[in-house]
Structure formats: C-alpha cells, structure tokens
Amino acid sequence: MPEVVVRRLAVYLRILREADLSDNRFVSSAELGEWAGVTPAQVRKDLAMFGEFGKQGVGYQGRNLRDELARILNTDETVAVAIIGMGELGAALARYIQRRHAGNREYPFRAVALFDVDPAKVGVSVEGVAIDHLDALPERVREQKVKLAVVSVPAAAAQAVTDRAVAAGVRAILDFAPVKLRVPPHVRVHYADVSLELHQLAFYL
Amino acid sequence: MPEVVVRRLAVYLRILREADLSDNRFVSSAELGEWAGVTPAQVRKDLAMFGEFGKQGVGYQGRNLRDELARILNTDETVAVAIIGMGELGAALARYIQRRHAGNREYPFRAVALFDVDPAKVGVSVEGVAIDHLDALPERVREQKVKLAVVSVPAAAAQAVTDRAVAAGVRAILDFAPVKLRVPPHVRVHYADVSLELHQLAFYL
DNA sequence: TAGATTGTTAATCGATTAACAATC
DNA sequence: TAGATTGTTAATCGATTAACAATC
C-alpha cells in the first residue's frame, strides 16, 4: 500500500473525527476532498483501495466511514505507546498524548510505558505513568504488548534503544532523533526531525 | 522545484555536515546515495538541478558540495526563528534549537524570539531569550527580520497566530498544531503532526 | 592513456486526474 | 424517473531509474 495513501487516510480520519457527524450525515468525495485539500477522484481512489464504502448518488455515511477508517488504521481500539527518552521533548510528548487520551476517549493512543536512564528520572510519574529504567524495556514492552514506540533520546543513543525495542517486539517507531535508523524489514520507521523540516523550509525564504 | 528534491537536499547536507571531510575528500554519488538511502542516479539528478558541482571520474569535493548545499538551502548564514507558544513542546523546541546552535556554530537556526500569552511566562528567559507577549509579535518579527516561525500553540489558536505572523512578514511556518493552516500562496507551511504520524504508523501494526 | 564517475537523455515506473458507466 | 455520486478504467502527468557519451 503506497505510503501517501496511508497518510491521506489518516487525514480523512481526523477530519471525520472532528466533523460534526449527525446520525445520517452523508459526506461526498467532493466535500472530503475539499477539507483535505485533494481532488474528489483522489478521495474515491484512496477509499476504493480498501472496499466499497459509499452509495452511488449519495456519498459516504459519515460515521460509518469514520469507523471503517479507524479500523483500517488500527485505531479503533486503544493503541499502547512506549516513549523512550524522557528529556524535555519526550516528557512533553508523554503529557501531550496522555492528556489527549484523557480528554477525548476517541483519541486512540495511550502512553503505557516511559523510559529513561537517568536515575533522577526513574520512578518519577508523568501524567500518572511512572518512568522506568531503560533496562526494564524488554520486560515492559512484552508484558504490555507494545507495538509502537517513540524514540526521543539523544542522537548517539537512538540506534541502540531502537535495537532493544525491536528485539522486544516493537513494530513501528516514530524517531525524533536526527539519525537514520537501521531496522529489519518488518519494522516501520517514521521520522519527526525538526532540524530537517527547518532546513527544508529555509529553502523557501 | 519538487518538494521531495528539497527534502533530499536537506538530507545530503546533514550527511555532509556530519561526515569527516578532510581537505580534499571527494564524495561520489554512489557513496552519498548509500548514506542517504537513495540511488546514485537520484543523487546526481538532484544535484544537477542546481548546477554542476562534480568532476567526472572523481566525484564531488565534499566541503565544496556541503557549502553549495548550504547556500542553496539558505543555511549558509544564521537563520532567525520565532517560536510561538511556550507550552512544554514550544519550550522544549526553543531549548533544543538554542543548545544545538550554541554547541555547534555550523547549526544555522537560532531562536531569536519566543512568544506566549500567559502573563506568568512573559518575561521568563529560555536559554537566554526572554519570552514576549504575543502582542509584541509584529514588532519583534519586523525588527529581527524573522522569516521562519514555529507554531506550537493549541489547535484552536493556531490559525490566528499564523495570520498575525504572516501579516508581520513570516514566509515559512513549521506547524505542530493538528490543524491545516490557510496561508497566502507565498507562505510555505510544513506540518509536524505527532498524532498524524502515529496514525500512519498504526496502520502497519 | 585507462579507469572512473559525472551530467543528461531515454525508458520505466507509479501516482494523479479525468471521464463515464453503473447504480442508488 | 431524474439527478447525483460512486467505483473503476483510461489518459495524463511527474518522478525514478537505467544507460551512456562526455570528460576528468
């Protein structure tokens, strides 16, 4: 499945989650495309890759489409997330995720495990979740069946913690460290690299 | 210029900045491609869009290529950045950027202006830069000639602060709020949307 | 000179858009 | 039924890869 399609599906889902979907609100590919900034044909093609969700002449039933997309993206149930590295960024991410989950039951992500190596941080709670020592990662990841991890450690440590997370069963990683991670083919990595984004934007100045 | 090319240029530049470039180290498109995870042809094509930087039979002179790329990406001189929203994420970003700039003179970005609306935060210094009230944004952006801004405010406030930043002369925005921003055509927006990334990754679980 | 690698053109690949028959 | 909009096929567009003459 092309990565761009998955990205757009996530956009459609967010739009539908935010939209006010009264019981029988139908949404057309034209509307959804307008909101997402893509063509109606694009919307229909993207959705058609996963099934026939619409009714000719009417459009897509909003709530149904939202639920189908959540199912496709595996966010119809709560997704357990581990955050590795409780520096300022990691702690900010942990609080962000927990608060969104607490504030809106539809928000699927929940930080169930937090890790650091600093003894001063281990044991401290962040939004009700205790920070564990990195050495406890394999055990915690296995017992909580964590499949998705956020890496927010210094660049020099990123590959090593990634290796440990992957060995423990993690299948997808969001990496904030400015390092290209080497992982086995069954593991997916996305990069959230602030400096790279700033560099790209600087081109247009 | 295709956006993917600009993205790869930024990757090449980072690689060259990190590489140990002795005086006459030459780098081939094969090497650079290997490090960046793209084909040699891709590297040559990308670079050829901006000029002829290589020597046949030899490759690209590392330091020269690095400097050329920095020039193309407008990061051969320090780039002033404003950060709007000093919540946890905003503050973490401010510290990250300042520390990298302080630690490595080659790091081009510098947070020269920080903004929030919380009276408890205004006046507080973050890594030596005082937080200003949002109302001071137009004045500060103009006097510091800030062209690049980071938006790290709550979703509900993102469009409003963007409008003010754009009115003051900002040309490129890195938006951390999960909101599609509407901006005039001469303004570039990149999104750093953690929830969207997590949603995409969840697809592969 | 011989070997290597660029810059560039041509071939391939894949994604987007347009068009329209199917059908609600 | 008439009007609207889907699902899908065909046409277009653009980006990637392969190939090779130019040349250091």
Residues of A in contact with B75 (CB under 8 A): 199, 202
The Cα-based distances of A1 to A40, A95, A132, A181, A183 in angstroms read 20, 32, 36, 22, 20
- Determine which of A101, A197, A199 to mutate to test the interface with B (most B C-beta atoms within 10 Å): A199
Distance CA B135, CA B103 (A): 31
pLDDT tens column, A143-169: 999 999 999 999 999 999 999 999 999
DSSP string for residues in B184-197: -TT-EEEE--HHHH
Strand D contact at CB of residue B37, distance < 7 A: no
Give, in order, the Cα–Cα distances in Å from A187 to each of A158, A181, B195, B203. 15, 11, 19, 12
Q: Across the interface, which of A37, A72, A202 has its CB nearest the CB of B148?
A: A202
Element (H, E) at A31: helix A29-36
- Nearest chain A residue to B191, by CA: A197
Cβ-based contacts of B174 with chain A (< 8 Å):
194, 197-198, 201
Distance CA B90, CA B154 (A): 11
CB pairs under 8 A between A and B: 148
- In this prediction, residue B45 carries a pLDDT of 98
Q: Helix, strand or coil for residue A129?
A: strand
Query: Nearest-CA residue to the C1' of C24?
Result: A56
Where does the pLDDT of residue A27 fall: very low under 50, low under 70, confident under 90, or very high at 90 and above? very high
Inter-chain touch B79–A14, beta carbons under 8 Å: no
Is B56 (CB) below 7 Å from strand D?
Answer: yes
C-beta separation of B141 from B151 below 8 A: no
The tens digit of pLDDT for each residue in B123-164 reads: 999 999 999 999 999 999 999 999 999 999 999 999 999 999
Whether the per-residue pLDDT at B187 is higher than 90: the answer is yes
Residues of B in contact with A72 (CB under 8 A): 203
How far, in whole angstroms, is CA A47 from its chain's centroid? 20
For residue A10, give the nearest of B93, B172, B196 by CB distance. Answer: B196
Residue nearest D5, CA–C1′ metric: A57
Cα separation, B194 vs B178, in Å, equals: 8
Task: Please provide the DSSP assignment of A11-25 as one string.
Answer: HHHHHHHHS---TT-
| Strand bridging mode B148-151 / B125-126 | unpaired
CB contact under 8 A, A188 and B204: yes
pLDDT at A23: 80
Which DSSP helix (H) or strand (E) runs through B114? strand B109-116
Nearest C-alpha of chain B: how many angstroms from A25?
22
* Rg (chain A; Cα; Å): 19
**Predicted confidence (pLDDT) at residue A104 exceeds the cutoff of 90:** no
CB–CB contact A201 B92 (8 Å): no
For residues B104 and B127, give the distance between their C-alpha atoms in angstroms, rounded to a whole number.
Answer: 15
Tokens of B33: 């491609």
pLDDT confidence of residue A102: 92
Domains of chain B (ranges plus CATH)? Answer: 3-72 (1.10.10.10), 79-199 (3.40.50.720)
What's the number of CA atoms in the CB half-sphere (13 Å) around residue B81? 32
Chain B, nearest residue to A189 by Cα:
B201
Would strands B54-55 and B59-61 be described as parallel, antiparallel, or unpaired? Answer: antiparallel
The pLDDT value recorded for residue B109 is: 97
How many C-beta atoms lie closer than 10 Å to residue A167's C-beta? 12
Q: In what order do the strands lie in the sheet with A188-191?
A: A125-126, A129-133, A109-116, A79-84, A148-151, A172-175, A188-191
Nearest-neighbour CA in chain B from A200: distance (Å) = 6
Contact check, Cβ <8 Å, A74/B203: yes
Strands (E), chain A: 26-27, 54-55, 59-61, 79-84, 109-116, 125-126, 129-133, 148-151, 172-175, 188-191
The Å distance, CA of B138 to C1' of D22, is 54
Token readout for B175 is 């938006």
For the CA of A9 and the C1' of D7, the distance in angstroms is: 17
**Torsion angles phi and psi, residue B192, rounded to 5:** -120, 85
Angle between helices A137-144 and A155-167 (to 10 degrees): 50
Question: What's the token pair of residue B104?
Answer: 């490595």
B84-119 pLDDT per residue, tens: 999 999 999 999 999 999 988 889 999 999 999 999
**Residue A105's pLDDT band (boundaries 50, 70, 90)?**
confident
